[in-house]
Amino acid sequence: MEETRELFNEDAYLKEFDARVLSCETDKKGYALILDQTAFYPEGGGQPYDQGRLNDVFVKEVHRKDGQIIHYTDTPLETGSIVHGVIDFERRFDLMQQHSGEHVFSGLVHKYFGYDNIGFHLGEEEVVLDFSGPLDPKQVKFLEEKTNEAFQKNTAVKVFYPSREELDVLDYRSKKELSGKIRIVSIEDCDTCACCGTHVRQIGEVALAKVLSLNNKRGNARIAVLFGKRAVNYVMKVMEEADQISVALSKNPTQIYDGVKHLQEEYFNKCQQLNLLYTNYFEKKYEEAENCDLYVTFEEGCSMDTLRHFADRMSDKAKVTAGLLKKSENEYQYVILSKSVNVREKAKAFNEALGGKGGGDVTMVQGFVHAGKEAIEETLRTLFQS
Beta carbon of residue 196, minimum distance to Zn ion (angstroms, whole number): 7
Given a contact cutoff of 8 angstroms between Cβ atoms, the answer to whether 198 and 41 are in contact is yes
Choices 44-52, 56-64, 217-225, 289-297 (CB under 5 A): range interacting with Zn ion: 44-52
3-state SS track over 336-375: EEECCCCHHHHHHHHHHHCCCEEEECCCEEEEEECCCHHH
The half-sphere exposure of 292 on its side-chain side, counting CA atoms within 13 A, is 14
Choices 41-49, 261-269, 304-312, 329-337 (CB under 5 A): range interacting with Zn ion: 41-49
Which CB, 100 or 351, lies closer to Zn ion? Answer: 100
Verify binding: residue 48, Zn ion, rule CB under 5 A. no
Given a contact cutoff of 8 angstroms between Cβ atoms, the answer to whether 311 and 320 are in contact is no
Which CB, 228 or 356, lies closer to Zn ion? Answer: 228
How far from chain centre, in Å, is Cα 212? 9
Cα(205)–Cα(194) distance, integer angstroms: 21
Query: Which among 124, 34, 44, 46 is positioned nearest to 85, based on CA atoms?
Result: 34
- Of 179-208, which residues contact Zn ion (CB under 5 A)? 195, 197
Number of residues that bind Zn ion (CB under 5 A): 3
Which CB, 130 or 299, lies closer to Zn ion? Answer: 130
Choices 37-45, 50-58, 143-151, 336-344 (CB under 5 A): range interacting with Zn ion: 37-45
Beta carbon of residue 115, minimum distance to Zn ion (angstroms, whole number): 16
Kindly write out the interface string for residues 281-320 of this chain, putting x where it contacts Zn ion by CB under 5 A and - elsewhere: ----------------------------------------
Kindly write out the interface string for residues 140-179 of this chain, putting x where it contacts Zn ion by CB under 5 A and - elsewhere: ----------------------------------------
Cα(41)–Cα(24) distance, integer angstroms: 18
Choices 45-53, 225-233, 246-254, 349-357 (CB under 5 A): range interacting with Zn ion: 45-53
Beta carbon of residue 193, minimum distance to Zn ion (angstroms, whole number): 6
Cα(362)–Cα(339) distance, integer angstroms: 9
Beta carbon of residue 195, minimum distance to Zn ion (angstroms, whole number): 3
Cα(16)–Cα(37) distance, integer angstroms: 12
Which CB, 10 or 266, lies closer to Zn ion? Answer: 10
φ and ψ of 333, to 5 deg: -95, 140
Beta carbon of residue 227, minimum distance to Zn ion (angstroms, whole number): 13
Which CB, 57 or 195, lies closer to Zn ion? Answer: 195
Q: Which residue is nearest to Zn ion (CB)?
A: 195
Beta carbon of residue 11, minimum distance to Zn ion (angstroms, whole number): 18
Beta carbon of residue 41, minimum distance to Zn ion (angstroms, whole number): 12
Given a contact cutoff of 8 angstroms between Cβ atoms, the answer to whether 154 and 134 are in contact is no
Beta carbon of residue 235, minimum distance to Zn ion (angstroms, whole number): 25
Which CB, 45 or 358, lies closer to Zn ion? Answer: 45
Which CB, 17 or 41, lies closer to Zn ion? Answer: 41
Task: Pick left, alpha or beta for residue 88 (phi over 0 → left; psi -120 to 50 → alpha; otherwise beta).
Answer: beta
Which CB, 45 or 204, lies closer to Zn ion? Answer: 45
Beta carbon of residue 97, minimum distance to Zn ion (angstroms, whole number): 13
Query: Which among 221, 223, 225 is positioned nearest to 211, based on CA atoms?
Result: 225
Cα(41)–Cα(51) distance, integer angstroms: 9
Cα(352)–Cα(383) distance, integer angstroms: 12
Which CB, 195 or 365, lies closer to Zn ion? Answer: 195
Beta carbon of residue 254, minimum distance to Zn ion (angstroms, whole number): 37
CA–CA distances in Å: residue 219 to residues 16, 114, 129, 215, 216: 46, 14, 14, 10, 6
What strands, in cross-sheet order, belong to the sheet with 117-122? 117-122, 127-131, 220-227, 209-217
Which CB, 55 or 202, lies closer to Zn ion? Answer: 202
Question: Which residues contribute to the site for Zn ion (CB under 5 A)?
Answer: 45, 195, 197
